[in-house]
Structure 1
Amino acid sequence: MKTLFLVRHAKSSRDDPSLPDRERPLDDRGRQDAPMMGKRLGKRELKPDLLVSSPALRALTTAQLIADEIGYPRKNIVVDERLYASSPDDLLAVICALDDKLNRVMLFGHNPEFAELAHRLSSEITDMPTCAVAEFRFDAKAWADVRGIGPSKVKLDAPRK
């Protein structure tokens, strides 16, 4: 069984238009929503084997805040350039290349790519609001198999649910 979590970064600030896109921080709502979503995940006693984040500040901060709530060490978060300004196909390639020893992986990134990939994996998901967590369980032994099969279970959670 492989479980994939796609986590869209929490609400970010656009207060400083001079900041490059990668350096935009979370706004106040984002700094509240990320720990709240982490607490929800923590109550489910999820123990991910790996957290992978886009290098953008808003995604990495979201990953760190959620990691704190689920007991995942911040220092173990992997930053992967391929999760920033990518395509759904590129994201799927990252997923299919994951080490098969890993069973539960969380990816932190951006829309529209995350929503498009989530919809491709399951037509049940049509949108991913900020800080949404899409969970997909696959009856598979290898991550590469995810490309060719549909998930056996799909769940979407978001701060305003």
Structure 2
Amino acid sequence: MANQLWLLRHGEAEPHDAKPDPERELTARGEAQSRAAGRALAALELTFQAVYTSPKVRARDTALLACESLGEHEPIVTPVLAQDFAVADARDLLLGVEPDGRILVVGHNPDFAQVVFDLTGARVDFKKGGVAGVRLEGTRGELIALLRPRELDRIAGVA
């Protein structure tokens, strides 16, 4: 039995010098990316046992907008997703998941790309607003999806 870890990188945000990092908000494009990601995941008929998000404003808002389409969960703010998120943290979040269950985590790079690499050996270009899916069985991980924002738009039916 394999669990799945789905990672959604926050959408495009304000420039780094606009505000302190934790307070940076999504741009209009970032909001659209977040909504499209949620609609695409729903169109793929993915259901999640839980949705976890970084407390940083841009990630939290991405999670909220994506969950509107998923119609499932209120995202759970999880401080470990703010910085230095690692494989051990991902495995901890998966502990409460039923066999063959999946979770969605919303956060940041370079942490997400590193987690995908550490679990699967795949080097990925994790775009803002992009999604990766990893199937975990024991200590093995397999990259099962890597979707860029433009692919998520197509799946979601965004012109």
Counterparts of residues 51-70 of structure 1 (less than 5 Å): 51-70=51-70
Residues 1:94 and 2:89 are matched in the alignment:
yes
Whether the 8 Å contact between 1:122 and 1:154 is mirrored in structure 2 is no
Give 3-state SS (helix, strand or coil) of 2:134's partner.
strand
* Alignment-derived partner of residue 149 in structure 1: 140
Cα deviation 1:22-78 (Å, max 9, x = unaligned): 01000111011111111111111111000000000000111111111111233xx11
* Alignment-derived partner of residue 34 in structure 2: 34
1:107 is displaced (CA, Å) by 0.8
1:18 is displaced (CA, Å) by 5.2
Bigger Cα displacement from structure 2, 41-50 vs 119-128: 119-128
Whether the 8 Å contact between 2:22 and 2:57 is mirrored in structure 1 is yes
* Alignment-derived partner of residue 126 in structure 1: 124
Aligned partner (choices 75, 78, 81) of residue 76 of structure 2:
78
1:32–1:62 CA distance, 2 compared to 1 (3 A)? same
What is the CA–CA distance in structure 2 between the aligned matches of 1:43 and 1:101, rounded to whole Å?
Answer: 23
Unaligned stretches of 5+ in structure 2? 152-159
Whether the 8 Å contact between 2:87 and 2:119 is mirrored in structure 1 is no
Whether the 8 Å contact between 2:18 and 2:24 is mirrored in structure 1 is no
Amino acid at match of 1:149: R
CA RMSD after TM alignment: 1.8
What is the CA–CA distance in structure 1 between the aligned matches of 2:123 and 2:61, rounded to whole Å?
Answer: 24
* Alignment-derived partner of residue 107 in structure 2: 109
1:18–1:127 CA distance, 2 compared to 1 (3 A)? closer
What is the CA–CA distance in structure 2 between the aligned matches of 1:8 and 1:100, rounded to whole Å?
Answer: 21
If the length of structure 1 is used for normalisation, what is the TM-score?
0.83
Unaligned stretches of 5+ in structure 1? none
What is the CA–CA distance in structure 1 between the aligned matches of 2:18 and 2:7, rounded to whole Å?
Answer: 29
Aligned length in residues: 147
Whether the 8 Å contact between 1:125 and 1:156 is mirrored in structure 2 is no
Identical positions, percent: 29
Whether the 8 Å contact between 2:51 and 2:73 is mirrored in structure 1 is no
1:100–1:72 CA distance, 2 compared to 1 (3 A)? closer
What is the CA–CA distance in structure 2 between the aligned matches of 1:70 and 1:100, rounded to whole Å?
Answer: 18
Cα deviation 1:4-23 (Å, max 9, x = unaligned): 101111110128x3521001
